[in-house]
Amino acid sequence: MGVIVIWTLVLAVIMAERDAAAIKAGAQINHVLWWWIRAIAVAVPCVVIGKALLSIGMAGLFSAVFRWELNALRGVRCTYISRSNVYDSAFIMVTGSADAGGRLAYLVELITAVVVVGWCI
């Protein structure tokens, strides 16, 4: 399971670097397409080892690390989220602000990761 956690962390950093470069270049990001690519890349190893449920925890870990790295690369606050995608927009809608939405997103994602990994051990 440790290899899957490391894979998820590395993938999150690589994907954040990819998106940061695209944003800097002014390129449009197809959020739906890239969500599916990333979801599959995180889920497949979990399914292969017979722990499909683990993919939910790894999704939480991926999302939190991806946001942290993307925001660091872009030089914005770590809790920054925007309405550029449905996922972030949902947290903004629930909290009423982007900053609080970012904090809530980290909380939900990391609690999900810890609970699911604990369940799968």
Which tens digits make up the pLDDT trace of 61-87? Answer: 999 999 999 999 999 999 999 998 899
Residue 97: per-residue pLDDT: 96
For 33, 50, 117, the CA distances from 113, given in Å and listed in that order, are 23, 17, 6
**What is the pLDDT averaged over residues 18-28?**
96
Model pTM score:
0.94
- Of 71, 75, 73, 74, the closest CA to residue 105 belongs to 71
**Radius of gyration for the chain, computed over Cα atoms and rounded to the nearest angstrom:** 14
Give counts: helices (H), strands (E), the chain.
5, 0
Confidence (pLDDT) at 88: 95
Q: How many residues does the chain have?
A: 121
Q: Two tokens at 87?
A: 């996922």
Q: At residue 9, what is the residue type?
A: L
Structure tokens at 96: 């009423």
